Structure formats: C-alpha cells, structure tokens
Chains A and B, each alone.
Chain A
Amino acid sequence: MKKNLKIQNNIRRLRFFADEMTQQELAFKAGISRQTVIAMEAGKYSPSLELAFRIAEVFKVDITEVFSYKKI
C-alpha cells in the first residue's frame, strides 16, 4: 500500500549554526527567492532534488542532514 511521506528539513537550525545566516543570504547562495526559503522552513514547500543538493552544498553538509522524511 502506498504511504505518504512528509518531507522535513533542518534549514532553520543549520542557518543558526552557520553564524545565524539570514534567509536572504541563503536564498542568494542557493539561487532562489527568500519567499522560497520561508516556505521551506515553514514546511509548506518541498524542493526538487537539485535544489535540495544546492542547499546542502551551501551548508557544506550531506543532504540527509538537511532533509529527512517521515511516513504518515
């Protein structure tokens, strides 16, 4: 049976540990808008795999440290 997955992220926490990086800074480095960062942090938008890798690269961590999923 198909189970739904909820994508979660640690972007807010990672920003905090990256010298309190602003949403605007992250957006600029990942090549996206600040609104997209806000939507992702609020769990309202799940990025594409390509963008997920780009965000992980900004924080210099593995993609699984940024994004995880939960079966619902």
Chain B
Amino acid sequence: MSYQEKRTITSTVSGIVMLIAYSIFAISKYNSDDTNFDLKDWATTMLIFIGIGIVAIIIIQIVFHILLSISIAIREHERDDKEIEKRIKAEIVEDERDNIIEMKAARISFMLTGIGFMISLFLVVFNYSAITMLNTIFFSFLIGSILEGFIQIYYYRKS
C-alpha cells in the first residue's frame, strides 16, 4: 500500500469519526425537544465540530508522518542516515498522478455536496425548518469529504 493510500485512509477514517460524533450529537438534540437550542446554537456547534475536525486531522497527519518515518528507518536500519532520508523522501513524493486522482475525487465529491445543497433547498420549499436545512448541508459536506477519500482509494487500487 502506497503512502498516498495510507494518508487517504487516515483522513477518511478521521472524517468517519467526525460524522459519527456529529450524528450522535444531532440525533440526541433532535430527540431531546430542546426548544432553546436555536439556529445560532446549531451553527456554533457546527463551527466547533469543524474546528475540532481540522485540528484532529492535522494532529493525525503529523503522527502518521512520524510513524511512517520511524517504520522506514527501522526497515532500512542497515543503511546510513542519508540513504534513509532519501528513502523517506521517495516514499512521500506526490506526483501528477496523485493530483489527477485528487481532482477526479474532488469533482465527484463536489457533485454530491451540490446534490445535498439542492435537497436542503427542497426541504425548505416543503416547509421543513432552517435547522433541518443547515444540518442537511453540513451532512452533505461531511459525507462528500468521506466519499472523496473512498473514491481516491478506488482510483489508487484500480491503477
């Protein structure tokens, strides 16, 4: 499995964890019938989740890079330091094929997010609340980013 695949899996798993955490929160809030929890509170909660998500992804990526470097250093322990450094650089190189795969996945993910936005507009037309609309948009973004990861893995596996 290549570095890019491992990195994509790591960020996709982080996205799934965030989706599960937010789903648990949203469902429990919906079921609690808390009338004081208005649109502003939902927006604040979403911003907090986005902030936590970004920080978590950065930390996970840093830890991932450290672990990857250590694993390469252990595997190549018979070689000198310069050679090990060269191996690490060669392992984490990002080239044009990676960029093409990223763009293909981003395009499909963007389409899904767009569909989610359309659904949220229809929900408003059919008299659903603004909170439902906001949550639909947020979920479509979350699912879109997770799907982006899966599509990337699919393309990496395919070629």
Q: Which residues of A contact B (CB under 8 A)?
A: 24, 27-28, 31-36, 39, 42, 44-45, 47-48, 51
Contact = CB atoms under 8 A, between A and B. Distances in A.
B interface: dominant SS: helix
Q: Which of A31, A36, A39 has the most CB of B within 10 A?
A: A36
Contacts of B2: 33-35
B97 A39 contact: yes
A45 B100 CA distance: 11
Contacts, number: 41
A36 B95 contact: yes
Nearest to A24: B90
A36 B4 CA distance: 11
A32 B90 CA distance: 8
A24 B87 CA distance: 9
A58 B55 CA distance: 41
Most-contacted residue by chain B among A27, A35, A44 (CB, 10 A): A35
Contacts of B98: 33, 36
A33 B98 CA distance: 9
Nearest to A44: B159
B156 interface: yes
B90 A48 contact: no
Contacts of B158: 44
A51 B99 CA distance: 14
6 tightest A-B CB contacts, nearest first: A32-B95, A44-B159, A39-B159, A35-B2, A36-B97, A28-B90
Nearest to B98: A33
A51 B95 CA distance: 10
Interface in B47-99: 86, 90, 93-98
Nearest to B92: A33
B156 to A, nearest CB: 7
B97 A27 contact: no
Interface in B94-128: 94-98
A32 B94 CA distance: 7
